[in-house]
Chains A and B, each alone.
Chain A
Amino acid sequence: MNIRGIKAIYNFEMSRTFRTITQSIASPVLSTILYFIVFGSAIGSRINDIDGLNYSSFLVPGLVMLTILNQSISNSSFGIYFPKFSGTIYEILSAPISPFEITCGYVLAAASKSVLVGIIILATSSFFIELSIIHPFWMIFLLILISLTFSLFGFIIGIWADDFQKIQLIPSFIITPLTFLGGSFYSINMLPEFWQKVSYFNPIVYLVSAFRWSFYGNSDVNIKISIFAIFFFLGLCLVLISMIFRSGYKIKT
């Protein structure tokens, strides 16, 4: 196992993060807080409680999830796409480091960054509302697990993409719509029955629901099903990435 190699990639990615701290950390934090102020405090005060929670409290877990998903995907897809674009990938390909170890380096770095952003957002939101976390262990566990899963997903996108547009394609046209429709801003129970059923096909619903459960103890979906769904998606990504590496897909000519 080339631990030093994993560490080298991890440190490289983290130093890139801190070199561009305004773009990589300050910007997602700021935009989430803006959402929070506009939807939570300003508009939210006119919205009835949901599941016994006032709207701004209800909103926090969903907003963190929204940011985490986007951050994880964009961090790691960009992290691996950029060396392909600039040509510096040659060094990684010629190094004694396995595909699995390469993936570890990039995915762990992207996930760390997401967790960091998530924690900063939570800390900031505690200035606006009374933040209660019923299952703190589960909250951290889910935060890490979901960050890892979607960083891995982003990594797959970054490997598959051969231009900048493709990196944006899946996040813009699949992930963002699914997150917005995934119960970040509302409870699935508020939808007409037909759309509730449709929602259960949206994987994001399970993430948001589980994450909200760790805060307030109630959720749209059974927590076990949620956690199963997250692991299922993680497994899917792992299978996909190992298939990609076995074929040398799009990296080696």
Chain B
Amino acid sequence: MNAIEIKNLNKSYQNGLKALENINLSVKKGEIFALLGPNGAGKSTLINIICGITKKSSGQIRVFGRDNEADYKKTRSMIGLVPQEIATDSFERVINTLRFSRGLFNKPSSDRYLDSVLNSLELSHKKSNQIRTLSGGMKRRVMIAKALSHEPNILFLDEPTAGVDVALRKTLWSYLNNLKKQGVTIFLTTHYIEEAENIADRIGVINNGKIIIIEYKKKLLKKFGEKKLIFTINRKNKSINTINSIIKKYELKQKGNKITFNYTQNSKKDPASDLLSELNKRSIRFQDLEIKKNNLEEIFINLVQK
């Protein structure tokens, strides 16, 4: 069963703005799903509708098979939400705000569990501090701790690393990966391609309220993440046969003298340098070497600009 199943979801705000159009999306149990999209794409609207903060206009949302409106007590108790904006009760103490969250979600009090959450978010030393005395990054971690206080099965993070320094961002990523290992399904939105590239299993891209693509990160990178090696063969080369055999071997594309090699590079293999050393070995001369890169960032920009 999917953690989240969204069918034909539409949302128009009262002012008539159509924020989401016919969204179909499922999030698999135990995965990290990243929703990418530019400002105003509808990411927060989608999260807020799933979590019960915003009302949908039409469509259906199921959380572990249960309708998120008809069965809201069940679905919400499985969900933890870290909203985009930091909003805390400044004068409340960190541990009290966690106790409040846990109670609100109808869980029996357990300071032991809350302590472990604080500990893993490196907040233990601020446990008894008033929230207003914390730094911005700490406040964001308090928001995450609140969302985890009731041991949710699904965690929603709306731009968790906005305004967070690089070191903390990395810490957060490994923390999210740990949560994933414990079986928590994670749904996050982000502007940072790097973030999706680093931790997501699957990636969705949303623009103007419409889902453009949903794909496994690996496939997405492979589909769009190819590199191109372009070069021209020197006319002085005589061994046409050798060239042809190489063209065949590497599935090169030839247009006059211009040769294009499409490939995907990863840490284990680098087909481009294989090709180049083979050309060298066979003394085939080439020139005007050019490499064109397609990373997630370019994919994203291409998709959104279409």
Q: Which residues of A contact B (CB under 8 A)?
A: 2-5, 7-9, 11-12, 15-16, 19, 86-88, 90-98, 248, 252-253
Contact = CB atoms under 8 A, between A and B. Distances in A.
18 contacts: A2-B106, A8-B100, A8-B102, A15-B92, A86-B89, A87-B85, A88-B87, A88-B89, A90-B83, A93-B53, A96-B72, A96-B73, A96-B106, A97-B73, A97-B106, A252-B53, A253-B14, A253-B55
A87 B158 CA distance: 15
Contacts of A11: 100, 103
Given A19-B91, A94-B53, A253-B14, 13 more contacts: A3-B106, A4-B107, A5-B104, A5-B105, A7-B103, A11-B100, A11-B103, A88-B87, A88-B89, A93-B51, A94-B79, A248-B55, A252-B53
B140 interface: no
B16 interface: no
Given A2-B106, A9-B104, A253-B55, A96 B83 contact: no
A94 B108 CA distance: 18
Contacts of A96: 72-77, 105-106
B88 A8 contact: no
Contacts of B14: 253
Nearest to B146: A91
Contact of B104 (A19, A97, A252, A253): A97
Interface of B: 13-14, 51-55, 72-77, 79, 81, 83, 85, 87-89, 91-92, 96, 99-108, 146
A91 B104 CA distance: 9
Contacts of A86: 87, 89
B103 A4 contact: yes
A95 B55 contact: no
A98 to B, nearest CB: 7
A11 B99 CA distance: 10
Contacts of A5: 103-106
Nearest to A93: B53
Given A15-B96, A253-B54, A90 B81 contact: yes
B301 to A, nearest CB: 30
A94 B55 contact: no
B42 to A, nearest CB: 13
A87 B53 contact: no
Given A90-B81, A90-B83, A253-B13, A4 B53 contact: no
Nearest to B74: A96
Contacts of B88: 88
Nearest to A102: B104
Closest 8 CB pairs of A and B: A8-B103, A87-B87, A96-B73, A96-B76, A96-B77, A94-B51, A95-B104, A2-B106
B106 A94 contact: no
Contacts of B79: 94
B73 A98 contact: yes
Nearest to B86: A87
Contacts of A2: 73, 106
A96 B75 CA distance: 8
B106 A4 contact: yes
Contacts of A16: 91
B102 to A, nearest CB: 8
A95 B77 CA distance: 7
B146 A94 contact: no
Nearest to A92: B104
Contact of A94 (B74, B76, B103): B76
A90 B53 contact: yes
A93 B52 CA distance: 6
A114 B115 CA distance: 35
Given A87-B85, A88-B89, A94 B52 contact: yes
Nearest to B96: A15
